[in-house]
Amino acid sequence: MSGMGGGHGGGMGGSMMMQHGQQESGHKMGGTGGMGMSHGADALAPGSEFEIMRFQITQETSDSPALPHQLSVIERYTLDDVANPGKPVPIAISEGPMAMLLNGRPYAMDDFLPEERIPVNTLQLMEIFHNHGGEGGGHGSGHGGSGGMNMAAMMSMAHPIHIHEQPFQIISRSMSDDGQEAYASVHEGLVDSGWKDTVLVLPGERVRIIKPFREFKGRYMMHCHNLEHEDMGMMRDLLVE
């Protein structure tokens, strides 16, 4: 239908008229007044038909091609492949009042802990874990939890940890003893096959990943993908060198 009537014709006039019509209905101008509105010949009555675009079919095609029987094969990393099997790179999550941190420190330029320096052309075992009270911190970098244990238990939450540069594989997850019951209700739903650039780390959870650092030197961010947390400091750089 090209019932535009008025003098404009063409797409530009059409879209202008649609906006016009929406404004009118927004103003609740009595509804049925239709053509009688005093907006000149362009006025479009609410609810009337209006041509926006036209599809012209010029060629027949088939359905989408059938999916292959097997998608691409992913070579799974193992601990035998990594440069640091006994000393994972820590990514320690801590939550305190108005501070969300990784490795106990807020983001700062050129502020690299020794364990945040990664030799280029290596496969690295990395471990993401909650370290609110400073316990179990692996490499002594966990002085972030200004909130203490009770506060930590109250506030603990899941964090989607995102690491820039090449994607990684998740190789294992474990849960603290007091989180086992809740974990049993969800962990079978976690899909850890395939390449990842982000992993959701649940309260009490410890996730081990293997990540390649091939070829590219420089600073690469890791941060919580919850923007409020990131803005509160939950972001650090890795230095690949």
Three-class secondary structure of residue 91 per DSSP: strand
Q: Which stretch binds Cu ion (CB under 5 A): 31-39, 101-109, 182-190, 224-232?
A: 224-232
Q: Which two tokens stand for residue 108?
A: 């700062």
- Residues in CB range of 241: below 8 A, 6 or more apart: 117, 118, 119, 120, 217
Q: Which stretch binds Cu ion (CB under 5 A): 27-35, 49-57, 129-137, 222-230?
A: 222-230
Pick between residue 49 and residue 231 the one whose CB is nearest to Cu ion: 231
Pick between residue 94 and residue 169 the one whose CB is nearest to Cu ion: 94
Work out how close the CB of 230 gets to Cu ion at its nearest, in angstroms, rounded to a whole number: 7
Work out how close the CB of 158 gets to Cu ion at its nearest, in angstroms, rounded to a whole number: 7
- Residues in CB range of 141: below 8 A, 6 or more apart: 90, 92, 103, 104, 105, 113, 115
Residue type, 153: A
Work out how close the CB of 50 gets to Cu ion at its nearest, in angstroms, rounded to a whole number: 47
Pick between residue 124 and residue 226 the one whose CB is nearest to Cu ion: 226
Work out how close the CB of 234 gets to Cu ion at its nearest, in angstroms, rounded to a whole number: 5
Pick between residue 201 and residue 210 the one whose CB is nearest to Cu ion: 201
By CB under 5 A, residue 102 contacts Cu ion: no
Work out how close the CB of 201 gets to Cu ion at its nearest, in angstroms, rounded to a whole number: 9
Distance CA(226)–CA(115), nearest Å, equals 24
Contact 39, 24 (CB under 8 A): yes
Contact 114, 87 (CB under 8 A): no
Distance CA(232)–CA(227), nearest Å, equals 8
**What Rg do the C-alpha atoms of the chain give, in angstroms?**
28
Of 173, 223, 229, 236, the one binding Cu ion (CB under 5 A) is 229
Dihedral pair phi/psi, residue 231, rounded to 5°: -70, -25
Distance CA(185)–CA(179), nearest Å, equals 11
Q: What residues from 132 to 161 belong to the interface with Cu ion (CB under 5 A)?
A: 159
Pick between residue 94 and residue 226 the one whose CB is nearest to Cu ion: 226
Of 210, 224, 232, 240, the one binding Cu ion (CB under 5 A) is 224
Work out how close the CB of 131 gets to Cu ion at its nearest, in angstroms, rounded to a whole number: 14
Of 226, 232, 237, 238, the one binding Cu ion (CB under 5 A) is 226
Q: Give me the residues that bind Cu ion (CB under 5 A), please.
A: 159, 224, 226, 229
